[in-house]
Amino acid sequence: MDYSKACEVYRVVKKSGYPRRAVVKEEPPDRARAEIARFLHRVGVAKNRRQIEEKLDDIVGEICRFAGDPCDRLCLTLASVCADSDSCAAVCGERPDCARCDLTAICDYYNRRPSLKDLPEDERPRERLVAKGARTLSDAELLAILLRSGSAGESAVELARRLLAKFGDFRRLGNMTVRELRKVKGIGLAKAAEIKAAMEIAKRYAALDAKAGAQFSDSRAVYRYFRARLCDEKTEQFWLIMLDSKNRIMREEMISQGSLTSSLVHPREAFKPAIRESAAAVIFVHNHPSGDPSPSRDDRDLTGRLAKTGELIGIRVLDHVITGEKTFYSFADKGML
């Protein structure tokens, strides 16, 4: 318990000459105990508010000895600053008016990191989301709800805007590693982990569109299903989608993950899960980390070998889709299967 801080706070309050409101005088000093404890907690007398409430009498006694004032006068002086009433809003009430307070130089609350609670209620992202829906919020406001608090000297919304300005959009932000995110001022391990978790949830949510038993209507549906999963991968991934006799999805499996430029796939390994699951048909999907889905010579040769292997073992190869950043390439659409 920082008694010296408590004494300094009382000295400033007393010198400031805050009005002794009649509504406070008419009530016993104990009425303002909770408000006084909240006030002392805000200015940094102790980090734990419950500890202040439990030892409030000791704190008051220590300040009285320092100031030479009786306990009742001390309580009334502090209450005039922090106890709310119907007739007059307190300087440090439920919603502190820091602009009117003389304690800002030594106040922990005033010098803390700004939070969303400091915004007017109709401008707080969380409250606006509840009242008007998530679609009404900007990208920065949605990210601010996730961050919850800002950094020194800026609110969560301002920190979110700085993050988006640096990385461009949610996709590039989600593609950053925890180490890269932590290099940004105001982003610690907890915030970086929350961002990565939220982006992974978004990817998995997007992947729920094609559940077991669903059907892909065309190659674009295959691209939409895999785009969120593969667009930010820095290495090639080769995926197998297994279908039943009615072309309904049975299961999907990643066959291989290659280097930055190529993915090595052997037809034997590519069809092994399909044989095990007794699939009637398959669709192959892989990504180009460059963002350009145009097939290479190796892609064309591999597709030909996969199609011939499928014919030999009685499993139809319906398509081989290459995903890029904004578009895709379908061997079936080009008449190559």
pTM summary value:
0.50
Please indicate whether residue 179 or residue 229 has the higher confidence score (pLDDT).
Answer: 179
Q: Is a pLDDT exceeding 80 seen at residue 296?
A: yes
* Angstrom distance (rounded) from CA 181 to CA 177: 6
Residues 138-195 have pLDDT tens digits of: 898 899 888 888 776 677 888 888 898 888 888 788 888 899 999 988 899 999 999 9
* Angstrom distance (rounded) from CA 135 to CA 111: 33
Dihedral angle over CA of 189, 191, 196, 197, nearest 10:
110
DSSP secondary structure, 85-113, as one string: -SSS--TTSSS--GGG-S-TTT-TTTTS-
Helix, coil or strand: residue 329: strand
pLDDT of residue 300: 92
> Could you tell me the end-to-end alpha-carbon distance of the chain, in angstroms, rounded to an integer?
77
Averaged pLDDT for residues 232-236: 82
Residues 12-38 have pLDDT tens digits of: 887 877 655 444 444 445 556 788 888
Q: Give the number of other Cβ atoms within 10 Å of residue 244's Cβ.
A: 16
DSSP secondary structure, 230-288, as one string: HTT-SS-EEEEEEE-TTSBEEEEEEEEE--SS-----HHHHHHHHHHTT-SEEEEEEE-
Token pair 């398509």 is found at 319
The confidence band for 323, taking pLDDT boundaries of 50, 70 and 90, is very high
Token pair 């001390």 is found at 74
User: Quick one: which H or E segment has residue 317?
Assistant: strand 316-323
* Angstrom distance (rounded) from CA 260 to CA 290: 9
DSSP secondary structure, 116-134, as one string: GGGS-GGG-HHHHHHHH-G
Q: What angle do CA 7, 8, 13 make, to 5 degrees?
A: 95
What is the distance, to the nearest Å, from the Cα of residue 288 to the centroid of all Cα atoms in its chain? 28
Taking alpha carbons only, the member of 329, 336, 321, 316 closest to residue 242 is: 316
Residues 213-223 have pLDDT tens digits of: 677 888 998 89
Q: Which of 68-72, 81-85, 285-289 has the lowest average pLDDT?
A: 81-85
